[in-house]
Amino acid sequence: MAYYTEKQIKELELLAVKIRKYIIEMLYRAASGHPGGSLSAVDAIVALYFAHMRHNPKNPDDPDRDRFILSKGHAAPALYAVLAELGYFPIEELYHLREINHMLQGHPVSLYTPGVEASTGSLGHGLSFGNGVALAGKLDGKSYHVYVMLGDGELDEGQVWEAAAAAAHYRLDNMTAMVDRNYLQIDGNTEEVMRLESLREKWQAFGWYVIEVDGHDIAEILKALDEADHKENMPSIIILNTVKGKGVSFMENNVDFHGVPPNEMERNLALEELDMLQKKLEASM
């Protein structure tokens, strides 16, 4: 089991704040995009890329790299900000999100962006794609691990459950799925739109090893990732209990910020809040 010092965790938390600030600025400048689901996914993506996965920004096509697939493609800003911060491409690109003649498309495209593994945006594909990557890893005797992040609303898609069955059937223990369980989709609360509970039992019944954690507690997320990596003979899923819009008070649990970017005032307010959070964290280090 990997061990992280308190200081390391604090540093990751600080990075998560930085990523949230990028996201707010990116969406503000793009004047479109999805803040809620980007913000709720940040901590898990930060944990994966900065502390858990084996990957190399200088060699994004390394055949032995671990893979992260963002199945909920509308959270692209979170992925883009992390990739840029790691040096997969210049930070400057972040501020041309969704702009014509620029690389960063509204939803991830594997062909255009270094570090992006799969083209997503149409919900429901990512777990199947990840299964393919995991199967290839088994065939080739490689030790890489595949991580797929799904939205909870995304679980309405039938294809997700086709993939859930297949991953268990092929005993893909090199696969870890993660659900960003923020209880919101576009038309409202997931349990009102299309009941998902009991989610844990559903995945268990499909043959998955289920772990449930606070999706904003980076130490807990890292522990869960480790546990999932070591689970043999079956795929694992981490249910990340999250808050949509996490980190910006007026976006938190607010369905209206699913696909609406902040205006100038909202962006200033959001950045102020995140700056304060950053100072608090720094002071505690």
Partner 1 sequence: MTEKLMGNPRNAYGEKLVELGARYPNLVVLDADLSKSTKTILFAKKYPNRFFEMGVAEANMMSTAAGLASCGKIAFVSTFAVFATGRAYDQIRMDLAYSQVNVKIFATHGGISVGKDGASHQMIEDLALMRVLPNMTVLAPSDATQTEKIVELMAEHKGPMYARVGRADVPVIYDRSYVETLEIGRGMIVEDGDDATIIACGTMVDAALDAHKILLKEGISTRVIDMHTIKPLDEKLILRSSRKTNAIVTIEEHSIIGGLGAAVAEVLAENSASIRFKRMGIEDKFCESGDPKDLLEKYGLTAKHVVRQVKKLLKN
Note the residues at the interface with partner 1 (CB under 8 A).
63, 109-111, 117-122, 124-126, 128-137, 139-140, 158-159, 162-163, 165-166, 169-170
Backbone torsions φ then ψ of 238, nearest 5 degrees? -105, 115
d(CA 283, CA 285): 6
- Residue 115 in contact with Mg ion, rule: CB under 5 A: no
| Residue with smaller CB distance to ligand TPP, 25 or 180 | 180
- Residue 73 in contact with Mg ion, rule: CB under 5 A: no
User: Quick one: what does residue 163 bind among partner 1, ligand TPP, Mg ion, none, with the CB cut-off 5 to 8 Å set by partner type?
Assistant: partner 1
Closest chain position to ligand TPP (CB): 151
Taking a C-beta distance cutoff of 8 angstroms, is the pair 27, 33 a contact?
yes
Taking a C-beta distance cutoff of 8 angstroms, is the pair 62, 142 a contact?
no
Count of C-beta atoms within a 10 Å radius of residue 252? 16
CA gyration radius, the chain: 18
- Residue 13 in contact with Mg ion, rule: CB under 5 A: no
Nearest to 240 by CA among 258, 209, 216, 205: 216
- Residue 242 in contact with Mg ion, rule: CB under 5 A: no
Residues in the chain: 285
Complete DSSP assignment for 172-192: -TTEEEEEEE-SB-SSSBHHH
User: Quick one: what does residue 131 bind among Mg ion, partner 1, ligand TPP, none, with the CB cut-off 5 to 8 Å set by partner type?
Assistant: partner 1
- Residue 93 in contact with Mg ion, rule: CB under 5 A: no
Q: Tell me the number of residues near Mg ion by CB under 5 A.
A: 5
The footprint of ligand TPP (CB under 6 A) covers: 36-37, 40, 72, 74, 121-124, 151-154, 180, 182, 184-186, 244, 258
Q: How far is the CB of 6 from ligand TPP (least distance, A)?
A: 29
Q: Please list every residue from 168 through 197 that binds Mg ion, using CB under 5 A.
A: 182, 184
